[in-house]
Each structure stands twice: as C-alpha cells, then as structure tokens.
Amino acid sequence: MSGLTAATRLAGVIGWPVAHSLSPAMHNAEMRRLGLDWAYVAWAVRPERLEAAVRGLAALGVAGVNVTVPHKQAVMALMDEVSPEARLVGAVNTVRFDDGRMTGHNTDAAGWMADVARDVDLRGKAVFLLGAGGAARAVAVGACQAGARELVIGARRMHAAEEVAEAVQPAFPHTRVLFTALADAASLPLLEGCEVVVNATPVGMQHSPGIPVPADWLLPDQFVYDTIYAPAETALLAAARERGCQTRNGLGMLARQGAAALEIWTGSQPDPASMEETLVRLTSLPR
Ligand code: NAP
C-alpha cells in the first residue's frame, strides 16, 4: 500500500483463519475516504497464540483490532475493561488499545440494530430469532435494546436457546424473552405471532445449504432478516420474498458493526452507507 508513513496508525482484524475477511478492504476504503493516515490489516492468529498476539499488538502501539472467530470469547479474559454491552453479548469483537490498556467492546448488536432500523421500528414488536450462537446473542441484545416487546429464541438445542434467554432477560425486563426447540410443534404458533424473523444460524451459506425453518411457516406481513450475506439471497430470503415478506441480508450489519468499531478507534464519523457500498462491490466479484 502506498502512502504509509512513520505517523500512520494501524488497526486490523485477528482471527483464525482470516484470509477471507472483507474487513481490510472495507476499512481501508473508509479510512481513505475520511482522509485518515491509517491502515487496516489482517493477522492470522492461532488460538494458542492469542494472548501473545494481543499483548504484542498493544506493545506495538496498534490502535485497535476487530476480533473474529474463534477468538471473540477467549479475548475477553485478556481485557483490562469490558464494556457492559460486550458483557451482555458475551463476546468482544472490537478492542481498543490505549497506551497498553485494553478495552473490549462489542459492536455486533449495535450494527444489527442500526441495520434493521432502516426497515422496521422494533419498539413493541415481537422477534423470532433462529439460532443460539454468538451472532444470535448479539441480535438478541440488539432486539431488546431496540425495545422489542417479545423475543423468541428458537434453536435446534433447546438448552442453547435457554442459555441465551437467561443471559439477556435480566437486563431487559420490558422484553418478554422466550425460548423453544425448533423441532417442537409449539414453535410454529410462536413464530406466527412475530412480526420479525431473524436467521442467525449458518444455514443458507454455501457450505451449509438449506433453510432453517420450513418456507410455509412464513407469513406475508413478516419482515425477514438473514445475518448471512454470502450468498446475497439465501434460501430463507428467497422463500420469504416469494411469500411477499420484506427481506434484508446481513451485509448492512457487517458494514455497521465495522463503522462502530472505526469510530471507537479513530473518533471519526464513518459513513456506514459507503462502507456497505464497498462490501456490495466486493461480494459481487466472482470468488
Ligand atoms: P455459532 O456461534 O457457531 O452459532 C451458530 C448457531 O446456529 C448455533 O445456535 C447452532 O446450533 C446453529 N446451527 C448451526 N447449524 C444449524 C442447523 N443445521 N440447523 C439449525 N441450527 C443450526 O456461529 P455465529 O458466529 O453465531 O454465526 C452464525 C451466522 O451468523 C454465520 O453463518 C454468519 O453468516 C452470521 N454472522 C453475520 C454477521 C454479520 O455481520 N452480518 C456477523 C456474525 C455472524 P448448535 O449450537 O446446535 O450447533
């Protein structure tokens, strides 16, 4: 990359593997657009080297990093401080280094919330959430923060759904948080009672094809969001569109969690729309 100087500030992403990450191209484009003398790189960090890598980045004066699979939970224990939101989500996806001090944040919940707010005001709505992993817990926190009246967490393992419900319910007494096993017959009426359906399972990605709930469970007036962004239209979103539902994929969530991280490191005001445009360009290239 041209234009690097001794004053250039550095940020990046750590994960294992990380070569597929869209974040470097997205962040570097936005740093350039904002006129910042910053650069963003990807570091492949083996799980057993996580602590050495994070302490090394802090010692080198790196401004901050995004943290992705498989480090989002393990990195929490290394932080000097963890934001209340990251504690609720149970994961850190953004670290800011200040003179060696490490603060862990989570911008996935805010990123999802900002993205979904483009289509629907969640205040007073009921949300059916598919999945009980890391992304699901961020969406669960986002839905409650956005004022959902009810949140139903549906997972193939009831116990996993219950764990997410137990983690978020105490912080949000105004949202009724329920959980269900997707194979359970009681899940259908619960889903039919929701205005918003969100997929936070990998079902629908190229390596995990399929649909996380039967297409005929969807109702035409529901808003259906898929956190997956590659492919741009999953089997769930295609089925929902055919049934007349409004739909959106997870590309805007990726852009908005990135924008929030960039703001945490730089104090600048990134433009999520231009970050999303970069992602649209990248994901439409043949891969
Ligand atoms: P994760 O922690 O591994 O959780 C995956 C969840 O999906 C678990 O609840 C898992 O259930 C469930 N699941 C997996 N296969 C399933 C199947 N065949 N049927 C039903 N449920 C199944 O993964 P994650 O980090 O939450 O990521 C999930 C998805 O979110 C990813 O595919 C990614 O595309 C998306 N995501 C998007 C963004 C964004 O910015 N747009 C950010 C993060 C993640 P078990 O526990 O029973 O396996």
Q: Could you read off the pLDDT tens digit of each residue along the chain, which spans 287 residues?
A: 568 999 999 999 999 999 999 999 999 999 999 999 999 999 999 999 999 999 999 999 999 999 999 999 999 999 999 999 999 999 999 999 999 999 999 999 999 999 999 999 999 999 999 999 999 999 999 999 999 999 999 999 999 999 999 999 999 999 999 999 999 999 999 999 999 999 999 999 989 999 999 999 999 999 999 999 999 999 999 999 999 999 999 999 999 999 999 999 999 999 999 999 999 999 987 65
Does any ligand 1 atom lie closer than 6 A to the CB of residue 134? yes
Q: Please report the pLDDT score of residue 3 as a whole number.
A: 84
- Does an H or E element contain 131, and which? none
- Give me 127's structure tokens: 């949300």
Say how many C-beta atoms besides its own lie within 10 A of residue 254's C-beta.
Answer: 25
Q: Which amino acid is at 232?
A: A
> What is d(CA 268, CA 285) in angstroms, rounded to the nearest whole number?
29
Which has the closest alpha carbon to 171: 152, 195, 143?
143
| Ligand 1 centroid to residue 135 C-alpha, Å | 6
Rounded CA gap, 91 and 106, in Å? 7
Q: Which ligand 1 atom is at minimum distance from the Cα of 205?
A: 32
Distance from the alpha carbon of residue 203 to the mean position of ligand 1, in angstroms: 7
The residue whose CB lies within 8 Å of the most ligand 1 atoms, and thus the one to mutate among 27, 66, 129, 156, is 156
Q: Is the CB of residue 106 below 6 angstroms from any atom belonging to ligand 1?
A: no
pLDDT of residue 286: 63
Q: Is the CB of 203 under 6 A from ligand 1?
A: yes
Structure tokens of 28?
């570097």
Residue 200 CB–ligand 1 contact under 6 Å: yes
First to last CA, the chain: 22
Per annotation, catalytic residue among 29, 36, 71, 72: 72
| Angle separating helix axes 108-116 and 134-145, nearest 10 degrees | 60
pTM, entire model: 0.96
238 contacts 228 by C-beta, under 8 angstroms: no
125 is catalytic: no
Q: What is the DSSP string of 185-253?
A: TTHHHHHHT-SEEEE-SSBTBTTB-S-SS-GGG--TT-EEEES--SSSS-HHHHHHHHTT-EEE-THHH
Distance CA(226)–CA(206), nearest Å, equals 14
Rounded CA-CA distance 68/92 in Å is 9
Q: Cα(200) to centroid of ligand 1, in Å?
A: 5
Which burial class, exposed, middle or buried, applies to 257 when counting CB atoms under 10 A from its CB (0-12, 13-18, 19+)? buried
Contact 156, 183 (CB under 8 A): yes
| Dist CA 79 CA 51 (whole Å) | 10
d(CA 224, CA 186): 20
